[in-house]
Structure 1
Amino acid sequence: MRILFFLFVSAGVLQAQTAELETYIEVRPGTLPIILTVPHGGSLKPANVLARRYGVTGTDSNTIPLAEMIIEELATRYGGKPHAIISRLHRTKLDPNRELEEAAQGDPISIAAWHRFHDSAQKACDSVMKKSGMGLLLDIHGHRHLDQRIELGYLIQGDQLKHSDAELNADAALIASSCIRDLDKRSPQSFAELVRGPQSLGGLLESQGFRCLPSPSKTSPAFMAGYFSGVYDVSAHGSRKGGTVSAIQVECPWNNVRDTPEHQRRFAVALAESLGVYFEVHFGRKLR
Structure 2
Amino acid sequence: MFGKSLLLLTLTASILSLQAEDVLKYVDARPGSLPILITVPHGGDLKPANILARRYGVTAKDSNTAELSVMISEELRKLYGGAPHLVICRLHRSKLDCNRELNEAAQGDPVATATWKRFHEAAEGVEQQVTRSFGAGLTIDLHGHRHEEPRVELGYLISGSQLNTSDEALDRDPKYLRLTSVKELDQRSPQSFSALIRGPQSLGALLEAQGFRSIPSPGKPSPGKAVYFSGSYDVAAHGSRDGGSISAIQVECPWNGVRDTSENQRRFAKALATALGDYFKIHFQMTLVPDKSSQPARP
With normalisation by structure 1, the TM-score equals 0.96
Aligned AA (1:176): R
User: Aligned with 1:246: secondary structure?
Assistant: strand
User: Aligned with 2:72: secondary structure?
Assistant: helix
User: Aligned with 1:239: secondary structure?
Assistant: coil
2:294 aligned partner: none
Does residue 238 of structure 2 align to residue 237 of structure 1? yes
Aligned AA (2:34): L
Q: CA deviation at 1:41?
A: 0.8
For 1:11 and 1:123, the matched residues in 2 are separated by 28
2:272 aligned partner: 271
Aligned AA (1:60): D
**Aligned counterpart in structure 2 of residue 221 of structure 1, from 214, 220, 223:** 223
For 2:271 and 2:220, the matched residues in 1 are separated by 19
For 2:218 and 2:105, the matched residues in 1 are separated by 35
1:172 aligned partner: 174
2:292 aligned partner: none
**Aligned counterpart in structure 1 of residue 66 of structure 2, from 64, 67, 74:** 64
Cα distance per residue 1:216-248 (max 9 Å; x no partner): 00000032x110000000001100000000000
Count of residues paired in the alignment: 287
1:1-288 to structure 2, matched below 5 A, reads: 12-223=14-225, 225-288=226-289
Aligned AA (2:54): R
Gaps of 5+ in 1: none
Aligned AA (1:279): F
For 1:15 and 1:200, the matched residues in 2 are separated by 47
2:296 aligned partner: none
For 2:85 and 2:261, the matched residues in 1 are separated by 25
Could you tell which deviates more after superposition, 18-27 or 61-70?
Answer: 18-27
User: Aligned with 1:84: secondary structure?
Assistant: strand
Cα distance per residue 1:174-219 (max 9 Å; x no partner): 1121000000000001000000011110000000000000000000
Q: CA deviation at 1:17?
A: 2.3
Distance 1:9 1:47, change over 3 A: closer
For 2:103 and 2:8, the matched residues in 1 are separated by 32
For 2:11 and 2:135, the matched residues in 1 are separated by 44
User: Aligned with 1:109: secondary structure?
Assistant: helix
For 1:10 and 1:72, the matched residues in 2 are separated by 42
User: Aligned with 1:281: secondary structure?
Assistant: helix
RMSD: 1.6
Cα distance per residue 1:35-65 (max 9 Å; x no partner): 0000001110000000000000111001011
For 1:60 and 1:192, the matched residues in 2 are separated by 29
Contact 2:161 2:224 in 1 (8 A): no
For 1:97 and 1:88, the matched residues in 2 are separated by 13
For 1:277 and 1:244, the matched residues in 2 are separated by 19
Aligned AA (2:128): D
For 2:134 and 2:16, the matched residues in 1 are separated by 35
Aligned AA (2:172): A
Distance 1:199 1:99, change over 3 A: same
For 1:36 and 1:91, the matched residues in 2 are separated by 18
Contact 2:171 2:194 in 1 (8 A): yes
Aligned AA (2:25): T
Q: CA deviation at 1:15?
A: 3.8
Dislocated runs of 4+, deviation >3 Å: 1-15
Aligned AA (1:158): G
For 2:78 and 2:90, the matched residues in 1 are separated by 25
User: Aligned with 1:89: secondary structure?
Assistant: coil
User: Aligned with 1:240: secondary structure?
Assistant: coil
For 1:209 and 1:46, the matched residues in 2 are separated by 40
Contact 2:171 2:192 in 1 (8 A): yes
